[in-house]
Structures are given as C-alpha cells and as structure tokens.
Structure 1
Amino acid sequence: MLLWINGPFGAGKTQTAHEIRRRLPGSVVCDPEHVGFGLHRMTPPRLRGDFQDLPAWRQGVFEVLDRTLAAHDGVVIAPMTVVEPVYFRETVGRLRERGHDVRHFALLAERGTVVERLRERGFGHVVGFVAGKDAPLRRESFALSRLDLCLERLREEEFAQQVWTDRLTVARVADHIAAASGLTLAPNTDSPLRGRVRRAWTGVRHIRFV
C-alpha cells in the first residue's frame, strides 16, 4: 500500500509521514522531493525552476515508487505536494493503473494556519526571531506564492480524501489516515514535551538547502 500525503507547503506532510513511519512497523518514507533535488543538482542554477514541470521528475517518481511497492512488504509513505491535475495523474494515477493500492490524502487548513506553520518551520522561526514576526519569509516565499492555488486545487474531488488539520495534532492526523486506510498504528506514548522535541528534530533534519 502507498500512502500519498498531499497538501500545501507547510501543511505538515513530512511530520505526518514520519509519525506514521515511527508507529507503523515495516513502513518506509519515500520522499519524491529527492528526485527533484537530484535533477536540480544536475542543472545550472539559472535553468532551475519547478522540478515538477520536468517529465523526468514525474517518470522518476513513478518508477521509484512502482519498484518499491513491488519489492517492499510494508507500507510506503510519500509526502509530496502535487496540485497540477496532469502531474497528479502521471504519478498517483499511473501507480493506481499499475495495480497498486494507493491511498491519497490532502492535508488542508485555513490560510492563516498554514502561514503560521510556515513561519515556524525551517528557517522561518529564525527570521521571525531576528527580524520580527512580520518579516518576509525569504526561504518560504515559493511556498507562500503557491499557497492559494494549493488550497483551491486540493479541495477538488480529484484530490480526495481531504483532511482538515487546523485543530488536529500531528499524531491525530496520523491516526485519521491510518484508520481511513485500515491500518493500525502503535499507540502514541509521547508526552507533549517529547512530541514537540521529536517534531522539532524532524523539522531540522528536513530543512532544504537546494
């Protein structure tokens, strides 16, 4: 089974994916972003754009996930924002056509909630501390520029199931996805403090430098 966790940038996809992996033995996270980073590293900076526009990215993601799903016994988790319907069909759609059990979830939240999460993730909290809470989110500018489009597109039926996360913790979002997919997660035994530390460490490990 593949759990594709979609959502606008800052919706909590990576945190949710790693929470499920932590509590679901045998599961693995396969992040489609890494295919895009590899393509960017092979490309001169002036030629880099949105790597999802490259057919090589869509084909690469399909091939890697197809191979992993065929060879790995456990659940595969892919956290990735995809809002272009054609790109969605070339990745998620083709995997379904291939016969894989693909469960898709779009994590949504009110715009203000997502903006606040963007300020807190990665370097956003550093910018806010140094320059004040209203400082521009330099490293999150791309995410903000795509936010309204993401929130609009991901409400469409093609991108079901939608999960509204404004009032849900990461652990509860993971529980919801697991229950909807017929999976059983190990109990979440983290205290509030340990949960915050774990999420902070996950965020640090997934800061993007490319």
Structure 2
Amino acid sequence: MLLWINGPFGGGKTQTAHEIRDRLPGSVICDPEHAGFGLRRMLPPALRGDFQDLASWRQGVVEVLDLALTLHDGVVIAPMTVTDPGHFAETVGRLRELGHDVRHFTLLAERDTVLKRLRERGPGHLLQRAAGKNTGPYRESWAVRQLDHCLARLREPEFAEHLWTDHSTVPRTADRIAVLAGLELRPHTGGPLRTRLRQARVGIRHIRFD
C-alpha cells in the first residue's frame, strides 16, 4: 500500500509521514521531493524552475515508487504536494493503473493556520541566513507565494480524501489516516515536550538550502 500525503507547503505532510512511519512497523518513507531537488541541482541556476514540470521527475517518481511497492514488504509513505491535475494523473493515477493500492490524502487548513505553521518553521529560516543564504523576507518566501494557489486547487474533489487539520495535532492526523486506510498504528508515546522535540528534529533534517 502507498500512502500519498498531499497538502500545501507547510501543511504538515512530512511531520505526519514521520509520525506514521515511527508508529507503523515495516513502513518506509519514499520522498519524491528528493528526486526533484536532485534534478533541479543538475540545471544551471537560471533554468531552475518547478521540478514537477520535468517529465523525468514524474516518470522517475512512478518508477521508484513502483519498485518500492513491488519489492518492499510494508507500507510506503510519500509526502508530496501535487496540485496540477495532469501531474497528479501521471504520478498517483499512473501508480493506480499499475495495480498498486494507493491511498491519497490531502491535509488542509485555513490560510491563517498554514501561515502560523510556516512561521513556526523559523529556525530553518534562521539557519539559512546564518549560512549566508539569501532567503528574503518571510512574507516573500516561495511557500507563502504558493499558498493561495495550493489551497484553492487542493480543495477540488479530485484531490480527496480531504482532512482538515486546523484543530488536529500531528499524532491525531496520523491516527485518522490510519483508520481510513485500514491500518493499525502503535500508540503515540511521549508527552507534548517530547513530541515537539521529535518534530523539531524532523523539521531540521528537512531544511533546504537551495
């Protein structure tokens, strides 16, 4: 089974994916973003656009996930924002055509909620500045510029199953996905402090410097 976790940038996809992975024995995360950033780095800076527009990314994601789903004895989790219907058909749709059990979930939240979550990723922004990266002001960040488009597109029926997360914690969201997918997670352990520290570690590991 593939759990494809969609949603706006800053919507909690990666945190939810790691929560499920940590509580579901045998599951693995296969992040399509890694392939995208690798392809993007191959191009001269002036040619670096949205890697999802590259056919090589869409085809590569299908090839790699098809291999993982065929040979790995466990659930595969793919946290990835996809808002273009054509790209969605060429990735999620194509994997279903190949006969895989793909459960797609879109994590949604009100605009103010997502903006608050993006601000809470501030340590990553500070680390980028400390490394000499020109990230620009928060309000001009790429994720914020994409937010309205993402929220509008992802509310469409073709991107169901929709899960609203404004008043849900990451562990509770993971629980809801598991129930809908017919999976049984181990109980969430650790208090609020331990949970926040674990989520901070996940966030730091996923800081992008390009």
| Aligned residue identity for 1:136 | P
In 1, the alpha carbon distance for the partners of 2:144 and 2:174 equals: 25
Task: Read off the aligned partner of 1:54 and give its amino acid letter.
Answer: L
Task: Give the structure 1 partner of residue 138 of structure 2.
Answer: 137
Which residue of structure 1 aligns with residue 177 of structure 2?
177
**What amino acid sits opposite 1:208 in the alignment?**
R
Tell me, in whole angstroms, the C-alpha distance in 2 between the residues paired with 1:111 and 1:76: 29
Residue of structure 2 in register with 1:196 after alignment? 196
TM-score, with normalisation over the residues of structure 1? 0.93
CA drift at 1:124: 5.8
The alpha-carbon distance between structure 1 residues 209 and 32, as it changes in their structure 2 partners (threshold 3 A), is: same
Counterpart secondary structure, 2:141? helix
Normalising by structure 2, what TM-score? 0.93
CA deviation digits over 1:23-67, x for unaligned, max 9? 000000000001111101211111100000111110010100011
Question: Could you say which residue in structure 2 is the equivalent of 1:207?
Answer: 207
Number of the residue aligned with 2:86: 86
Stretches of structure 1 lacking an aligned partner (at least 5 in a row): 128-134
Q: Distance in 2 between matches of 1:54 and 1:122?
A: 30
Is the deviation greater in 107-116 or in 35-44?
Answer: 35-44
Structure 2: gaps of 5 or more residues: 128-135
**What is the 5 A alignment of 1:85-124?**
85-121=85-121, 123=123
Cα distance in structure 2, aligned partners of 1:53 and 1:39 = 11
- Aligned residue-pair number: 203
The answer as to whether partners of 2:124 and 2:204 remain within 8 angstroms in 1 is no
* SS, match of residue 105 in structure 2: strand
Percentage identity across paired residues of the two chains: 71
